[in-house]
Each structure stands twice: as C-alpha cells, then as structure tokens.
Structure 1
Amino acid sequence: MHRRFGFLFLSFLFLAGPADAAGTVVCDLPGIDLSAPAATNGTAETWGYDGDTRFIRNVSRPTLTPVLPAAGTATGAAVIVAPGGGFFGLAIDKEGCEVARWLAGRGIAAFVLKYRLRPTPGPDDQFKAELAGLLRGGKASFALPDDTTPEAAADGLAALRHVRGNAARYRIDPARVGFMGFSAGGFLTRTMAAGGGPDVPAFAAPIYPNMGPLAVPANAPPMFVAIGQKDFLLKGAGFPLVDSYRAAGKPIEFHLFSDDEHGFGMGIKGRTSEGWLDLLYRWIATRGFLVDGTARHVKR
C-alpha cells in the first residue's frame, strides 16, 4: 500500500476512550460474531473518537451489525458495508453505520462489517509516534500492508456467507447481496469481486479504492466505482481497475468527482461528491436488484 495511505490514516486518529464516552450511537454495535481465530498479540480492541465519529483499532474478533429497513419498506436487496482505515482502524460511523442507515432508509438491508485489522500498539500516543516514524522511513512494530490482508478477506467471505445463510431471518433475497467499502474497505470490496469464488457478491461498490489493475474472473459481479480526482490513490495515467473490467467485458459504472480528495464518505456538501449515494441507489435499481426475484432480470 502506498505510504500516503498511511498519511490518510493520520487524519482519522483520535483521543482514545471507552466506547460510550461521547458521540452518537448510530447503529447497535458490536453486532453478531463471525468465526475467526482469537487475537495472538494480546492487545485489546480500542475504541475512540475522531470528532463525532467513532474509530476502532486492534479488531481481532470480526462482527457484523444488521441495520434493517422498517417494516413494509424492504426491497429484499442487501449490502455489506466495509469501513476504511488503512487496515489499522475502522471509521465505523462515517463509512459504516451512517451509510448503513442511509441504505436501510431506502429499503436495502445493510450489514456493517467490523473486520480484523493489523495489530498496533495499544496506547494511542505510542501508535501515533510509531506510525509517524514509519511514514518518514523509519521502523515500527507494524508494517503498512500492500493490499487486502488475508484476515480481512476471510472476514468478508464470512460476512457474505452469514447474510446469505440467514436470508430468511433478514427477509432478503440471497441472490441480491452486494458488497461495498471505503478506502481499505474498497480494497476489500475489490478482493470480494475478484476472489470471492462461489461466494462472490451480486454487485460490488468499491469507493475510493485501489485503482490498480484487477484479475477479473468469469463470475465477476457488476461494479460501481467512485473516487475523487484529487485522490492520492490515482497514480499514473488512466484507470487500470476500470480498464480491467472493460477488457473482461464486465459492466462497470465509474464516477470521478473533480472537487474531491480521498475520504469524502457520504459526500461533502458543496462539492461534486455531494449526493453520490443517490447515483449508487439508481445504479442498484437500474441493474434490477431492487425488485422481487420472480419479476426481475438482473443485468450482469
């Protein structure tokens, strides 16, 4: 992963504190446990706040939190939402719970994925100091990952299997389960689209993800991509992720927001990213994922 991805992570750093110290709870975390090995580094999961949004480090037990539509409004579609944070943390509200509530308000069942992260020093001051040194070319007790970590990939697959395996309980169609993620969660979304095998999501929406080339499998799902023109993850000429999908003959929707940098979340008022979730919703609907399976024709 590019070192500047670590500089993004610095913008999310917080004053450590207990999970109920302040702020508004926007979904009922921590949710349902997913199967995963226990932590080996002995560092406890750390919760804190960056402004009004919660941020989590040292996740060693993955969970999935359902945020379901109100009675009578469900479309039967579902989306797993993976927040970002450089695989060292999770912006659980800004890129998780808030997005899930938006989706649920439009009839789409949402599931916030708290996936496993790279272990980092428990004390916040030590972590900040080590990360700053690492980004200056020094050494630290942890390293910046180049791509989706194996633990996060396993948790993504576990989430897809859980949601589909409990489709009746959540009143969703197992054939209409999508996956979306932001930043590192966008890396994870790419991994689910390319390496999900039989568990591949029905559709994928990586938001400000790694834009590098992708090995696109025959069963790759339709993809929606959004990123800011000023994002540091845009390296070199062209858009290899988009080119990979086009070369494979798979449908891809691509939005490049001219005003925006990395991390615009649900959109920034007054910038070109404002309202981008409406574009995603329209795309999901146009591809046929919001109608009953007996009457729909999903475009793939």
Structure 2
Amino acid sequence: MRQLSLLLLASCALGLSNPAAAQAGMPEVARETVPAPAQPGALALPTATPGPDREIWHTDAGQLAVRNVTRPTLNPFLPVGRGTGAAVIIAPGGGFLGLAIEKEGWNVARWFANHGIAAFVLKYRVLPTPVSQSEFADKLAGAIRGEKVGFGPPDDTPPEALADGLAALRHVRAHAADYGIDPARIGFMGFSAGGFLTRSVVEHAGADMPAFVAPIYPNMRPMTVPDNAPPMFVGIAADDFLIGMAGGRTALVDSYRKAGKPIEFHLFDHGGHGFGLGNRDDTTSQWPDLMLAWLKVRGLIKDQN
C-alpha cells in the first residue's frame, strides 16, 4: 500500500487542491504558519491526547489548514431560522497528516446550514509531523520523491481519528434537543481521509451508527458492511487516483450492494481528487444538490416551513 500512501501524501501537500501537480511530485504547501483563527462555538471532545496543544495552522492554496491536532473539537454551524431537523458531522481530509479544514470543513458546513441542515465540523486528531513548517514542507516534498522522512499517511483510519468520530456522534445525539435536531437523523460525512474515517465509522459504530453517511472521494476498496449499515451517498471523479489504487474498480459500492444496503453513487466524468464543494469547470459542483435531493427522497430531511 506504499503507493497509496504516497499519493495521499501528495494530495495532502497541496491542500487537496491540485492532484495533477501532486502526483507529478510538485508540492506547494505553505512554508510559514499563521495564527490560529477564532473558532466560535467550538466544543472540546473528551478524547483529547494528554499534554499541551500542539496544533499548527497554515494556508494551502489560500485556505486555512491545520496539522498536529491533539485536542479534537466539534464546531457547530446551525441553520438561521427553522431548520429541517437533520444534522451532519463533517470530517475534512488531509491524509491524516493535517486537515483541509476551511475547504472541506467550514465551507461545506455553511452550505448545509444554509440549506437547513445543522452541520458540525470535526477537527479530529492526526498523526504528528515536524513542528517547523519549513521542515514539514521540505520533508513532504522529499517523501513524495520516495525519500524516508520519518512520517507519512497510514493506509487507513488511525484509531485516534476513529475515536474522535464516534465521540462526535455521541455528543451531537446526546445534545440533539439543544441544537433543535432529530437524534434519529444525524449523519456523518467526510472528504478523502475524512471519507476513510466515514467508512470506518460505519464499520465500527455499532449502536452509535449514524442515520446516513456520505464519503466524498474516499477509499474505494472493499469494506466490511455491518447489518445496521445506514444509507450511503458517494461522489468521486473518474480520474481520481483512489479509483486507480482500487484497481480501477468501485469495490466500495460493490460491497454495499452485495450486503443489500442502500447506496447512491455518482461517478463524475472528471474533476480529480479534492474538489471540495466542486470545481467550476466540471460537474463535480453538482454533488451537494444531488446529496440534498437524495436526503429528501429518503425522508431524512423535510422541507422548511
């Protein structure tokens, strides 16, 4: 799986914004840090790693990203006025070495909140990387060239990230009345590594299972589908390297169908990896509306009155 790890590393290096350049080995990660932004309403999860706060903020392609997260949080984005009663937890991607938290977290959460769905951005724990941003950028570039640098993304979800995802579900469900949402209509979604996490949540949630899940450009390899697996929405571009790493197949979809569980799958003609809310010049920008329509058809959201 080393090739998959290197490609995840490359996508992380570009803030998940330029996969073609990433796969060619041309990282553009920022070499300077920025102050931690205000995160009003962010709630600490009980799964924090003991010790000091070590997180480091920087920009990638002009948007905020964070790495070395040791204190996971959940940041609510609630609808203005009457909502639909549904909610979704959003896990950004970043190869489990960092989080593209603005592009694949806050921006997405605002979209859902504007459509009446309470959204909660999960800042989950990631693997440790060098404290120096310039050293991180240099070693990231070296890793993409195949050098051993002492860190790299895992092949699947680390246990710390999974624990944070499950803790987020428990928190939102326990406080559903406070947020004005239905505890039976709480979903979980994620992008890239966050999509890996979403799959892992389905495999390990047990009684904490979300009402729906939406891994966006996730690991497309086979998965273990439990008996209580929820409806799944998947969106990925045909030229995404993760499909190539799955042997050109969509085995994730096959696993769900074989288990007899409902799945909606959108394979976009092109769009690469890491399109977030979608690219302007292709059809990937349609996935949020497609997911909204899917939620309505399945009765998971109701029109606002």
Q: How high is the TM-score relative to the length of structure 2?
A: 0.89
The residue type equivalent to 2:186 in the other structure is V
Instruction: Among all aligned residue pairs of Structure 1 and Structure 2, give the percentage whose two residues are the same amino acid.
Output: 55
The residue type equivalent to 2:60 in the other structure is D
- Return the match for 1:50 from 60, 67, 91: 60
Structure 2, unpaired ranges of 5+: 16-28
How do 1:24-103 and structure 2 match up within 5 A?
28-29=39-40, 31-39=42-50, 44-72=54-82, 74-103=83-112
- Return the match for 2:12 from 9, 15, 19: 9
The answer to whether residue 186 in structure 2 is matched with residue 177 in structure 1 is yes
Q: Which residue of 2 aligns with 1:192?
A: 201
Following the alignment from structure 2 to structure 1, what is the Cα–Cα distance between the partners of residues 212 and 116?
A: 17
Q: What whole-Å deviation, never above 9, does each CA across 1:206-244 have from its counterpart, x for those lacking one?
A: 000000000000000000000011100012142100000
SS of residue paired to 1:164? helix
- Return the match for 1:211 from 206, 210, 220: 220
Range with bigger deviation, 253-262 or 131-140: 131-140
Following the alignment from structure 2 to structure 1, what is the Cα–Cα distance between the partners of residues 286 and 202?
A: 25
The CA deviation at 1:256 is 0.6
The CA deviation at 1:53 is 1.2
The answer to whether residue 167 in structure 2 is matched with residue 158 in structure 1 is yes
Larger RCO: 1 or 2 (CA < 8 Å, sep 6+): 2
CA contact (8 A) 1:86 1:184 kept: yes
The CA deviation at 1:152 is 0.4
CA contact (8 A) 2:234 2:264 kept: yes
Q: What whole-Å deviation, never above 9, does each CA across 1:114-163 have from its counterpart, x for those lacking one?
A: 00000100111111222222233322232321101100000000000000
The CA deviation at 1:255 is 0.4
Which has the larger share of helix? Answer: 2
Structure 1 segments (4+ residues) deviating >6 Å? none
How do 1:103-252 and structure 2 match up within 5 A?
103-235=112-244, 236-252=247-263
SS of residue paired to 2:236? strand
Residue 39 to residue 8, structure 1, CA distance change in 2 (3 Å): farther
Equivalenced residue count is: 284
Following the alignment from structure 1 to structure 2, what is the Cα–Cα distance between the partners of residues 199 and 43?
A: 28
Structure 1, unpaired ranges of 5+: 293-300
Following the alignment from structure 1 to structure 2, what is the Cα–Cα distance between the partners of residues 29 and 234?
A: 37
Following the alignment from structure 1 to structure 2, what is the Cα–Cα distance between the partners of residues 43 and 130?
A: 23
The answer to whether residue 295 in structure 2 is matched with residue 284 in structure 1 is yes
CA contact (8 A) 1:215 1:244 kept: yes
CA contact (8 A) 1:43 1:122 kept: no
- Return the match for 1:275 from 281, 286, 289: 286
Following the alignment from structure 2 to structure 1, what is the Cα–Cα distance between the partners of residues 167 and 136?
A: 29
Following the alignment from structure 1 to structure 2, what is the Cα–Cα distance between the partners of residues 107 and 280?
A: 13
CA contact (8 A) 1:43 1:119 kept: no
Following the alignment from structure 1 to structure 2, what is the Cα–Cα distance between the partners of residues 179 and 144?
A: 22
Following the alignment from structure 1 to structure 2, what is the Cα–Cα distance between the partners of residues 269 and 32?
A: 33
SS of residue paired to 2:243? coil
CA contact (8 A) 1:43 1:121 kept: no
CA contact (8 A) 1:267 1:275 kept: yes
The CA deviation at 1:43 is 7.3
